[in-house]
Amino acid sequence: MPEIKFYARKAVPVEMHKVKIVQKLSLLPARERLQRMYEAGFNTFGLHNSDIFMDMLTDSGVNAMSDNMQSAMLRADDAYAGSETFYRMRDKLEEIFGIPHLLPAHQGRACEHIIAQHFVKSGNCVIMNYHFTTSKAHVTRLGGHVEELICDEGLITKSQNPFKGNIDLDKVRACVEKEGASNIAYLRIEAGTNLIGGQPISYANMKAATELAKEYGILTVLDASLLQDNLYFIKTREDAMQDKSIREITRMIADLFDIVYFSGRKFGFGRGGGILIRDEKIFHDMEDLIPMFEGFLTYGGMSVKEMEAMIVGFDETMDMDVISQAPQFIRHCVNALDEMGVPVITPAGGLGAHLNAREILSHVPAEEYPAGALVAALYLCGGIRGMERGTMSEERNPDGSERIASVEMVRLAFPRRVFTLGQTEFVIDRVKWLYDHRHLVGGLKFTHEPKTMRFFTGKLTPTSDWPEKLVEAYIADFGEEG
């Protein structure tokens, strides 16, 4: 969509939808938030939804459905086998991506599990532009290893590079020569790199990377979970693509890859997932894994009602008016914070606004999880739940030392069609207040540390009484109920 121009006011993002169903929110008093944070083990995943005012933890499965999506759920065919809902979903995905074979799964990480289970053997290498926590864990669990070959500027937090998610082609070629093409299970491209700030990858870079992989006979895999944001950035930032429609760009991207998988919790606005496979033999070689781990081949662990909603959601994802809203809200938030001097990841990407925790809490040692401390502090200062995306989200080295994250961030996700501009302004205000009081924030240490995916269920405690001091300073400015 063209951005809405304003005459007498500074331009702001304008929602291309109207609100018809609402959910009541409440803002707990600051001292109650402190109590809830202790009960949650200073891990925002441990908070109850009723504890939260602004839930910016994730965009996964919490996007707003349209009226057409909800009405489509009424026609779901709940047959265990041979559901007509499945065939409608398969046909819609083939229409959009041009790939004939679909294996359904209950969400994106289930797709990653099936793909890794089939292709990764002990000692294998998987090349990625950048990892996602589960995509890496599925490979390492099977004895493989991941090579992240993001372009150098991808890890520079403040930048004007429009495509920081691009993979470095020279590094890819060097890796293939070192590992040997036969030892590389696949090349995985994440369209919208989650862990470096939702930064997009260009179509030109995807094309060059897949051509290089095909030169060596290496399978190519696209993680399309965040594709809708990436489509917006390709359309608006890549000169050669601005005369293409979203559907045309989607098909051009899909034509580059052997396998495309997605989380429907992001792509399609529902709760599910799927693996699209071009080669019929590979499809048949993989299909037995679906009944074993997910469900029968015509539902794959998904609710058929969600499947029907996603069929409509796939079409809505091809609508520029729909997919432009979240990136514009994110840009508004990032630019406002940047202008206020708050360290953020730039340029604004997809998925959410990302705070540079390493710079904001430069006084907190890396081993005391600055991003984890910052996200806990933000909840104390406004009931805002974000997600730690830093060292806590990594796993320890074999010797027990911390694997320090390349980028230490707090993600403030913007689920599609959920938040208003007023709520966004509240977030900007509270982040600015916290930044101005950052000296009050200290570190965290684990009291319960799972070996895998510790950021989900781990429990932590502050290294001092900094949370109490922060809350008292907050109350002094905003009052008991603020």
Q: Residue 80 catalytic?
A: yes
Q: Which of 223, 232, 235, 385 is catalytic?
A: 223
CB proximity list for 17: less than 8 A, separation 6 or greater: 66, 325, 417
Any idea of the CA torsion for 393, 397, 398, 401, to the nearest 10 degrees?
A: -110
d(CA 298, CA 105): 10
455 is a catalytic site residue = yes
| Residue 132 is a catalytic residue | yes
Q: Pick the catalytic residue from 33, 92, 109, 266.
A: 266
Residue 238 · residue 203 · CB < 8 Å: yes
Instruction: State the DSSP string of 405-454.
Output: -SS-EEEEE--TTT--HHHHHHHHHHHHHHHHTGGG---EEEEE--SSSH
Tell me which of 44, 58, 85, 133 is the catalytic residue: 133
Strand order in the sheet with 145-148: 101-105, 273-277, 259-263, 220-223, 184-190, 125-128, 145-148
Token pair of 289 as six digits: 């894994």
**Residue 267 annotated in active site:** no
Of the listed 53, 97, 130, 132, which one is catalytic? 132
478 is catalytic: no
Name the active-site residue from 38, 80, 87, 456. Answer: 80
Catalytic residue among 389, 430, 438, 454: 389
Angle made by CA atoms 234, 235, 240, in degrees to the nearest 5 = 80
Q: Which of 97, 269, 455, 474 is catalytic?
A: 455
H-type helices in 73-132, by residue range? 84-97, 108-119
Pairing between strand 384-385 and 259-263? unpaired
Cβ atoms of 44 and 385 closer than 8 Å: yes
Residue among 388, 410, 406 nearest 458 (CA): 388
Which residues are designated catalytic? 80, 132-133, 223, 266, 389, 455
